[in-house]
A and B are shown apart, each in its own frame.
Chain A
Amino acid sequence: MAKPKLAVYWAASCGGCDIAILDIEEKILAVADFFDLALWPCVADFKYQDVAALDDGAITLTLFNGAIRNDENFTIAELLRRKSVVLCAFGSCASDGCIPGLANFCDRQSIFDYVYSKSPSVDNPNKIVPQPHTKVPEGELYIPAMWDTVWTLPQVVDVDYTIPGCPPQSDQIATVIEAVIDILKNGKPLPPKGTVLGATDKSCCDECPRTRDIKKITKFIRPYEIIPDPDLCLLEQGIVCVGPATRSGCGAKCVQAGVPCRGCYGRPINVRDQGAKMISAIASVIDSTDPDEIDRIIAMIADPAGTFYRFTLADSFLRRAQV
């Protein structure tokens, strides 16, 4: 009997998700044993044409990481949707937009202006910028055209499941993959569509071992300004920690290392907008009832939108800045 097919694809992403999959260590052998690879650009050379030649639904499972920000990302997202029985938004970029999604604070033109001319380390006197089409002696070359807005995978195609995280933690990936193999081997039913896999239903604070006292804050500080107390809640120490507005499942690794949660597991269950939830959380801990003092305390948060939406701007209510 032919093995079920697995595809892993990267769109606008850093490659960290692919590495996280390989980090499941010897369990990767079970994956290789059980699946045939249909596409995995990070580990081997595959051609899009070969995927296109498959029957629709020929791929059993696709783990799609990366956001959608150019026409190649979108074309392959659509192709893999057609060819896959189960399409899984894998990692924060695919499900929430993640760091690439922060490009939604500006547009293509301003990104190009900075990257190809204004950045202090750039020397580009002839103002050369990438063009979709280039004529070379061998013919015409094409590179995918970048869009103004970064989109999440569920915004452009129908997605079955989500695995959050930047990247998803390897132990969680291993659990999910073992469950998938078990389901396929033993003909068990799939979880309901839309289920978030590899994470739990609580907030990051729930997994955090730090002690929470009574949160009363009169001053916010940047993490480099202090050596944080190893046992006390970071938010109580005045460090903006997005844990209260973040889904758990990571094991609260960052906070245990003294680094505030940045929110990579995305919004928790029943929360639609991570930034809005974080505003509520911050507002609850500010210890003042005087509007002027409140303004002064809030002014210490340098970049609320960038901090609260670091991983979910493309997935938020407002989705992008109006520029």
Chain B
Amino acid sequence: MSFEPKILGILCNWCSYTGADLAGTARMKYPANMRSVRVMCSGRVDPGFILNALRSGADGVLICGCHPGDCHYVEGNYKCMRRVPLTKKLLEQMGIDSRRLRLEWVSASEGARFQSVVTEFTEQIRTLGPLELRDMKFDLNKPDRYSLMAEPGHAAHTY
């Protein structure tokens, strides 16, 4: 079976979610791989949301907000603009390709742009392949988890 990426889209209420709506009402087609969550502002996106999404099974995270200067709350998108590169740097240090995280500016009138951003990002994640994180849950039976208790005759056997 071919790989279908799971992508979390976090869209700002005022521009990008409306842009996505426009793409929908205009019947512009784009891949169905993105699950979108509406937030009031891209400045609301805690980097923890991104890390939690990747840990919980998302292969990529797309954040869309108003163009710089257009934020409904004046400067929320600038906060996001500063968080994302730092989060990308952290992802690289954690051995995760930072291209799995993308920030794009999509206005309410840019339905076509939303369509192309989602299409292109989905293809990129498809190329990167599934994100498989190791050791997200403790399992004593992993090969490196040699157990004293499994050692017959060892003193610890009786603990």
Contact = CB atoms under 8 A, between A and B. Distances in A.
Given A71-B145, A283-B86, A286-B82, A319 B135 contact: yes
Interface in A50-84: 52, 71-72, 74-76, 78-79
B152 interface: no
A52 B151 contact: no
Interface string A285-323: 010110100110010010111101000000011111111
A294 B90 contact: no
Interface in B109-157: 133-136, 138, 140, 144-149, 151, 154-156
Given A149-B135, A320-B135, A289 B85 contact: no
Interface string B88-121: 0110011110000000000000000000000000
Most B-side CB within 10 Å, residue of A277, A283, A295, A306: A283
A273 B159 contact: no
Contact of A305 (B46, B68, B90): B90
B148 A322 contact: no
Contacts of B50: 276
B32 interface: no
Contacts of A321: 93-95
A148 interface: yes
Contact of A291 (B47, B81, B151, B156): B81
A298 B89 contact: yes
Given A79-B159, A318-B96, A275 B144 contact: no
B149 A283 contact: no
B147 A273 contact: no
From B55, B134, B136, residue with most partner A Cβ within 10 Å: B134
A110 to B, nearest CB: 12
Contacts of B158: 49, 52
A144 B148 CA distance: 8
B51 interface: yes
A284 interface: yes
A142 interface: yes
A153 B148 CA distance: 18
A20 interface: no
B79 interface: yes
Contact of A155 (B55, B133, B134, B138): B138
A283 B79 contact: yes
Contacts of B46: 276-277, 280
Contacts of B133: 318-319, 322
Contact of B90 (A108, A132, A275, A286): A275
B2 to A, nearest CB: 23
B83 interface: yes
Contact of A75 (B79, B87, B156): B156
Nearest to B132: A322
Interface in B30-77: 46-48, 50-52, 54-55, 68, 75
A318 B89 CA distance: 14
Interface in A250-302: 271-273, 275-277, 279-280, 282-284, 286, 288-289, 291, 294-295, 298, 301
Interface in A102-157: 105, 108, 132, 142, 144-145, 147-149, 151, 155-156
Nearest to B135: A149
B51 A322 contact: no
Which of A273, A288, A323 has the most chain B CB atoms closer than 10 A to its own CB? Answer: A273
A147 B145 contact: yes
21 contacts: A48-B155, A52-B159, A71-B145, A71-B149, A74-B140, A74-B147, A76-B159, A142-B154, A276-B48, A283-B82, A283-B83, A289-B75, A298-B86, A298-B89, A301-B86, A304-B90, A306-B93, A317-B55, A318-B55, A319-B136, A322-B95
Closest 3 CB pairs of A and B: A322-B95, A276-B48, A283-B82
Interface of A: 48-49, 52, 71-72, 74-76, 78-79, 105, 108, 132, 142, 144-145, 147-149, 151, 155-156, 271-273, 275-277, 279-280, 282-284, 286, 288-289, 291, 294-295, 298, 301, 303-306, 308, 316-323
Given A301-B86, A321-B94, 16 more contacts: A48-B155, A71-B146, A74-B140, A75-B149, A75-B156, A142-B154, A151-B138, A276-B51, A279-B47, A282-B86, A295-B85, A298-B86, A304-B86, A305-B90, A308-B90, A322-B134
